[in-house]
Amino acid sequence: MVEQVWRSRRVVLVPCSFQGHITPMLQLGTILHSKGFSITVVHTQFNSPNPSNNPEFRFQIIPDGLSNHVISSGNIVEIISFLNVNCEVPFRECLALMVNQQDPSDEIVCVIYDELMFFSESAANQLKLQSIILRTTSAATCISRLALLRLKTEGHIPLRDPIMQDPVPGLHPFRFMDLPISKFGIPENYLQLIINAYNTRTSSAVIWNTVDFLEQSLLPQIQQQCHVPIFPIGPLHKFAPASSSSLLMEDTNCITWLNSQAPNSVIYVSLGSLASMDRKELVEMAWGLANSMQPFIWVVRPGLINGSEEIDLLPEGFKEAVGGNCCIVKWAPQKEVLSHGAVGGFWSHCGWNSTLESISEGVPMICRPCFGDQRVNARYVSHVWRIGLQLENELERGEIEKAVRRLMVDKEGEQMRQRIKNLKEKVELCIREGGSTYNSLNNTLELIKSFWF
Ligand code: UDX
């Protein structure tokens, strides 16, 4: 009977239109669906998710008004700012239509929106619907983004080169160079985005894709300043089955290749969906990896090289030099790769999803952050959890070769592996009955249930 009541309620999800945000939102949808909710995903034209990956959900597209010029600029801050202006009215109309046409046995109970899609809140509010925020980056990122606002008033911004190595006052363990700065520096619209993203407005709660024990001292600090409950229910991917939310086609050949490799021998190299590098860096990376003699999977996705959609930019002689010791794909089934016994290391840009996925599978990391929260996560990986090492200088083949050997062969890497295996075990405890994530998820469900009782 209780199950029937739950089945008759619908949750509307509004993901932000980037891979690293779509994935956790769809994972949350999968969890809520498994608890009896119906799900509608309202998404932009830009980076539309593939509905056939989640046939149990409804998908509603809204116009986003993004010009090709804005999309191709790659300026994420600008894209998100435009989305918040352009999507407000279409979302309100779409939501109003859904409410007007809804079947009483399938009523919308709340809207859950990505913190960056804050236009959603006013539409929900106007229609007297409750709303909840989903945060898809770490708590440390929240603290350090808010610190940027303080640093601005203290006159530290724009950041100047001579202080980049210095510790940020009051923000241990970060140096200025670890701050979550966008590719385009710290323009005014980025600071405004931070203010909007961390304003909870009339929303009822914050759901956070993080794990309590990983960010223990930070979450209570944030909770103190937040007037609504915070529910850390990560890592979301551990609850949701592996249905793909990839915007690019996954190449599963790498799993066949992995099956023939020795345990813990392979380094998986992927810089996520947005990070990019120049051709010179790609060449150094290619030779550094090749010279390490360690087998590797390398995700060379379209757009990885600045200004080029081509992926066939590897240096001459490279493929012959590495032979069967390497597998190159445009996009990998990453969670499957990381959980494979042959994978012993992850060279990552330290996007928050990748970081959580690596911790959940106990795979130590080489960190090469590019921008934004990746720098914050890399600092935590290398200096707080000590489960990885950071490549900080200009990419150079000799340095890369050394880093790969430090991680994959040396005692230092073995110690990191041991530490991350301990974290993996703790994550497993958190998601079990009685664990912190398990309890937080129950509290989230209780809250949503309270919206209609
Ligand atoms: C972006 C930001 O860059 C990141 O810092 C922020 O935390 C979230 O938004 P992205 O760069 O794509 O995300 O990185 P990440 O958060 O790691 O998300 C990438 C996702 O794509 C992961 O879930 C990963 O498993 C998946 N992936 C990546 C694949 O499935 N296959 C690949 O080949 C590469």
Specify whether 227 is located in the same domain as 304: no
Output the residue whose Cα is nearest ligand 1's atom 29.
Answer: 334
One-letter amino acid for residue 423 of the chain: L
Q: Is-contact 303 292, C-beta < 8 A?
A: no
Q: Is-contact 204 132, C-beta < 8 A?
A: yes
pLDDT for 105 beyond 90? no
Q: Is-contact 57 29, C-beta < 8 A?
A: yes
Q: Which residue has the tokens 């030779």?
A: 287
Q: Which residue has the tokens 């303080």?
A: 150
Output the residue whose Cα is nearest ligand 1's atom 25.
Answer: 334
Q: Is 118 in the pocket of ligand 1 (CB under 6 A)?
A: no
The CATH number of residue 83's host domain is 3.40.50.2000
Looking at residue 309, its pLDDT comes to 67
Can you give the pTM of this predicted structure? 0.96
Give residue 354 CA to ligand 1 midpoint distance, Å. 6
Instruction: In whole angstroms, give the CA distance from residue 252 to residue 138.
Output: 29
DSSP designation for 320: H
Instruction: In whole angstroms, give the CA distance from residue 178 to residue 377.
Output: 9
Specify whether 208 is located in the same domain as 330: no
Q: Is cis: bond before 173, omega within 30 of 0? A: yes
Collapsed DSSP state (helix, strand, coil) of residue 314: coil
Specify whether 199 is located in the same domain as 272: no
Specify whether 180 is located in the same domain as 239: yes
Looking at residue 242, its pLDDT comes to 63
Largest CA distance in the chain: 67
Range 410-424 average pLDDT: 98
Give residue 352 CA to ligand 1 midpoint distance, Å. 7
Range 67-92 average pLDDT: 96
Task: Kindly state the helix (H) or strand (E) to which residue 207 belongs, with its residue range.
Answer: strand 205-208
Structural domain count, the chain: 2
Task: Report the range of poorest mean pLDDT among 17-21, 125-129, 301-305.
Answer: 301-305
| Tokens encoding 259 | 């099956």
- For the chain, the average pLDDT equals 94
Angstrom CA distances, 159 to 163, 168, 170, stand at 8, 11, 16
Looking at residue 184, its pLDDT comes to 79
Specify whether 266 is located in the same domain as 240: no
Q: Which residue has the tokens 């190299």?
A: 269
Q: Is 274 in the pocket of ligand 1 (CB under 6 A)?
A: yes
| Tokens encoding 127 | 């229609």
Range 72-97 average pLDDT: 96
Task: Kindly state the helix (H) or strand (E) to which residue 152 belongs, with its residue range.
Answer: helix 139-153
Looking at residue 187, its pLDDT comes to 85
Q: Is 209 in the pocket of ligand 1 (CB under 6 A)?
A: no
- At 109, the pLDDT band (50, 70, 90 cuts) reads very high
Range 270-283 average pLDDT: 94
Specify whether 232 is located in the same domain as 369: no
Instruction: In whole angstroms, give the CA distance from residue 284 to residue 265.
Output: 21
Specify whether 349 is located in the same domain as 322: yes
Instruction: In whole angstroms, give the CA distance from residue 271 to residue 265.
Output: 20
pLDDT for 241 beyond 80? no
- Beta-carbon contacts of 347 under 8 Å, excluding residues fewer than 6 positions away, are 267, 268, 269, 270, 365, 366, 368, 404
pLDDT for 410 beyond 50? yes
Specify whether 303 is located in the same domain as 185: no
Give residue 1 CA to ligand 1 midpoint distance, Å. 40
Output the residue whose Cα is nearest ligand 1's atom 27.
Answer: 334
Range of the domain at 306: 253-428
| Tokens encoding 191 | 């600071």
* Cross-strand partners of 133: 113, 206
Instruction: In whole angstroms, give the CA distance from residue 367 to residue 66.
Output: 33
What proportion of the chain, given as a percentage, has pLDDT over 90?
A: 88
Specify whether 222 is located in the same domain as 285: no
Q: Is 138 in the pocket of ligand 1 (CB under 6 A)?
A: no
Strand 343-348 relative to strand 365-367, pairing: parallel
Q: Is 357 in the pocket of ligand 1 (CB under 6 A)?
A: yes
Specify whether 111 is located in the same domain as 186: yes
Range 401-405 average pLDDT: 98
Q: Is-contact 205 121, C-beta < 8 A?
A: no
Specify whether 299 is located in the same domain as 223: no
**Of 391 and 160, more confident:** 391
Alpha helices in 314-383 (DSSP H): 318-322, 334-338, 352-361, 373-379
Q: Is 413 in the pocket of ligand 1 (CB under 6 A)?
A: no
Specify whether 180 is located in the same domain as 289: no
Instruction: In whole angstroms, give the CA distance from residue 401 to residue 24.
Output: 33
Report the half-sphere exposure of 259 (CA within 13 A, side-chain side): 5
Sheet holding 266-270, edge to edge: 326-329, 296-299, 266-270, 343-348, 365-367, 388-390
